[in-house]
Structure 1
Amino acid sequence: MPRSLSLMLAVLLTAGGCATAGEEGGGDTGTGGTGPITFATGRDTTAYLQPLLDRWNQAHPAEKVTLLELPEAADEQRAQMVANLQAQSSRYDVLGLDVVWTAEFAENGWIIPLERGLFPLDRFLPPVVETAIYKDKLWAVPYTSNAGLLYYRTDLVKKPPRTWAELREQSREIKKKHNIEGYAGQFLAYEGLTVNFSEAVQSAGGQILSRDGTEVTLDPAKGEVALDFLLQGLREGWIPEESLSYKEEESRLAFQEGELAFARNWPHAYGPAKAKLGDKLGVTRLPGLNGPGSSTLGGANLAISAFSKHQQTAQEFIRYFTSLENERRVLTEGSFPPVWTELYDDPGLIKRFPYLPVLKESILAAKARPVSANYNQLSLVIASSVAKALSTPTPESADDVAVSMKSELEEIIRTQ
């Protein structure tokens, strides 16, 4: 059957309306209506987008897409989207969602389920596809991925650390010999600290919540080990106290300006660091307790508003925007990690972006944040608990913090 005909039949068969995740027997997709659309996404991702949008608009003069730039901060993006969707406004058609928002938006009926067969999901990195699925339904299409990496100075480090013990030893030696600080991540009390602590727990062999977000699986002993890794670094001075105020940008600048020997950051930091450090820049997987650690999976997915009047156009736009050709541009022009597996094995791209093989390993070993409609509350508890422990001169024991955190998380799960 021709692809266009099969798509038309799929649309006709599923035009019965939008089912929310909570509806019994749901699963139908509702993608009717063609016409102009808006694409709402965060401002920090938009610099390279306009040429891609122009190509679509030239080919679809009656279905042009308009870019709607939302605030740069993820929390503000979410707040603006939620306000629009709660009002059932049709202003937004395609939504650029952080991967952790899928469950919340689906559960509230703000986005529509999609037909899996319309997208080449089998050619995407498997962990990335999982971020778009909630209650066995596809609610969005992966657009970019992300995983944390360890950046290091090759002129100071002969062999990059694979374990926390090696990171500690090398950091202390470098600080003593070269008066350069050791290691930093994102330790301010915000989503970045949740990510960094989650990575530490995972890298110690634990997990904070079950994959479906219905059970707190944090072993206090694993939580204690993860927290002690950070506390030890601060006490001994190989994690600088200044890093308690670091988000992604601050840690990136500190590293590339020569203030740090090691830094945890996302792949977007590679370009500026390479321009500044040249051959002195190295990238590897995050270290863990007994070997390479596990990153938190990041990235963005594209979803369709349940209140869009032009859902068919929105769906076709997403198919275009996540195509192999455009995903290549996402990397080469936007410097964002693509979702197509084959791009990570392309020799030409690897020559231009040498970190791709390591990034692929990191993504495949990464774990998604919990799928929960109350993710924001969970994240606030984690970040505030860890921040209090790290910044208090005489903090509770790491064990007490882990036990208290688990109790607070369980209370949120019980009430959701």
Structure 2
Amino acid sequence: MRWSMVARWVVTGVLLLSGCGSPASSAVSTGADGTGPVTLATGRDLTGYLRGRLQVWNASHPTQKATLIELPEAADDVRAQMISNLQAKSERYDVLNMDVSWTAEFAAAGWISPLDTHQFPLDKFLKPVVDTATFRDRLYAVPYVTNAGVLYYRKDILDREHLPPPRTWADLERDARTVAPRYGLKGYAGQFLPYEGLTVNYAEAVQSAGGQLLSGEGTKVAVDSPAARQALDFLVRGVREGWIPQEALTFKEEESRQAFQDGRYLFMRNWPYAYDLGEAKGSPIAGRFGVVPLPGLDGPGSSSLGGSNLAVSSYSRHQKTARALIRFLTGLDNERQVLLQGSLPPVWAQLYTDPALVRRYPYLPVLRQSILSAKPRPKTPDYDQVSLAVAEAAHDALTLRRSPDEATARLADELGTIVRGP
């Protein structure tokens, strides 16, 4: 996924300031069992909570202090800077806070060190998030933050119509096409600009029809299927019939969030970060909307998993400390603060049923359900190329430049070239 405001839900950019490397220490050991000061390279900490958590670590680890390397917002810049650093075998990064879709790429290149599954409480995490941290049956990272797309709807309007929130595509299509205009609203907004957001939206539709883009750990093309065609037909039909407006084809996360929060749409697909903003003081829709799992072809659908994983750089001199820092950051107490202070979805399963947290964040049960039914994005070292190809093909269909059949067939050919090589 790619981010603007949604950066707080995932890892974002990298632009290092000079002098941000690990501080020197005379009482250190180096290598895989090395201990000493470490750095945490992460996306911009918009809420400021990470610095506070590292202060807690540093207070009890005076000879193994952790320094935060905060990075800018653009996710492409994050990936590019991390790759540049790792290709140079630089020791500057010890712990990498990576988007979940990068795990396979970084592991295949040998840039991150495999981890011992017994050192981390993986059995306490929501099961699907653990899969995002593995590659070829080995653990290369530890889930830190998770995420799943959900459907926002105007509860006040559906209540007036005595309608439940949509469970299927047919429900969504009917209400977006017929109910929305009666209240002067537009139908449905997602993230349909040709970027990672469109890849995610299309992948969710394919999964929600029972299909997938790639199979076999990202080695086999699976998109040339009836399910994939049904998914694209559904979205294209929305554009043709107008319940997905033309302006929605220019939306990323923030544009769709703002349009829904301004009271212009009946439905919106987005990440959970939009909930607190929608309920904030002064929001036109505060107290007037609800959240449910994404609808699917015949019932509740399937989201793409978002979030970030923590990994140890293969070139870190203090990998033992780096692993210990990851255990701290992914422990139960810190994961609770991930939600309370960082406004980020945690990976520990029990936090989603904690009564106090559910009272404060009423969407947690829906988010838990959405995460449990979500799928990781394709596990391929070439994910960036895959994402670009998917977004381009889906956009060609949504802008009516190609029919769904033509776009699907072309995408299957392009993905075949990517995963098999030239």
SS of equivalent to 1:370: coil
Q: How does 1:17-32 map to 2 (within 5 A)?
A: 31-32=32-33
Q: What is the total number of aligned residue pairs between the two structures?
A: 385
Verify the 8 A CA contact 1:46 1:69 in the aligned structure 2: no
Structure 2 counterpart SS, 1:143: strand
| Structure 2 partner of 1:373 | 381
Answer yes or no: is 1:310 the counterpart of 2:315. Answer: no
8 Å contact from structure 1 (residues 106, 112) kept in 2: yes
CA distance in 2, matches of 1:211, 1:353: 37
Q: Which runs of 4+ in 1 moved over 4 A?
A: none
Question: Does structure 2 conserve the Cα–Cα contact (< 8 Å) formed by 1:223 and 1:399?
Answer: no
Give secondary structure in 2 for the equivalent of 1:258: coil
Distance 2:34 2:158 in 1: 57
Aligned to 2:68: 67
* More divergent stretch after superposition (192-201 vs 241-250): 241-250
Q: Are 2:366 and 1:399 equivalent residues in the alignment?
A: no
Deviations 1:303-355 (A, max 9, x none): 00011111111111101111100000101111111110111111111111111
**Structure 1 counterpart of 2:333, from 325, 332, 338:** 325
Give, as a single letter, the amino acid of the residue that structure 1 aligns with 2:305.
L
Structure 1 residue 173 displacement after superposition: 2.1
Aligned to 1:157, what secondary structure does the other structure show?
helix
Q: Does 2:237 correspond to 1:232?
A: yes
Contact map agreement 2:206 2:227 (CA 8 A) in 1: yes
Question: Secondary structure at 1:68's aligned position in 2?
Answer: strand
CA distance in 1, matches of 2:409, 2:239: 21
State the distance in 1 between where 2:258 and 2:61 align. Answer: 42
Q: Is the 8 A contact 1:183 1:238 kept in 2?
A: yes
Asked whether the equivalents of residues 37 and 314 of structure 1 are also in contact (C-alpha less than 8 Å), the reply is yes
Residue 34 of structure 2 corresponds to 33
Within the candidate set 348, 352, 366, 1:340 is matched to 348
Whether the aligned pair in 1 keeps the contact of 2:302 and 2:373 (CA below 8 Å) is: yes
* Alignment map for 1:153-302 (pairs within 5 Å): 153-158=154-159, 159-275=164-280, 276=283, 277-302=285-310
Distance 1:41 1:236 in 2: 42
SS class of match (1:43): coil
Q: Share of identical aligned residues, percent?
A: 57
Normalised to the residue count of structure 2, the TM-score between the two structures is 0.89
What's the CA shift for 1:401?
0.9
**Contact kept in structure 2, 1:174 and 1:181, CA below 8 Å:** no
Matches of 2:37 and 2:211 in 1, distance apart? 47
- CA distances 1:343-387 after superposition (whole Å, capped 9, x unpaired): 111111111111111111111100111110111111110001111
Q: Distance in 2 between matches of 1:44 and 1:74?
A: 14
SS of equivalent to 2:287:
helix
Q: CA deviation at 1:57?
A: 1.2
Structure 2 gaps of 5+ residues are 1-30
For residues 211 and 317 of structure 1, the distance between their equivalents in structure 2, rounded to whole angstroms, comes to 33
Residue 278 of structure 1: CA displacement? Answer: 2.4
Q: TM-score, normalised by structure 1?
A: 0.90
Q: CA deviation at 1:31?
A: 2.7
Are 1:118 and 2:116 matched, yes or no? no
**Structure 1 unaligned blocks of 5 or more:** 1-29
**RMSD (Å), alpha carbons:** 1.3
What is the match of residue 16 of structure 1?
none
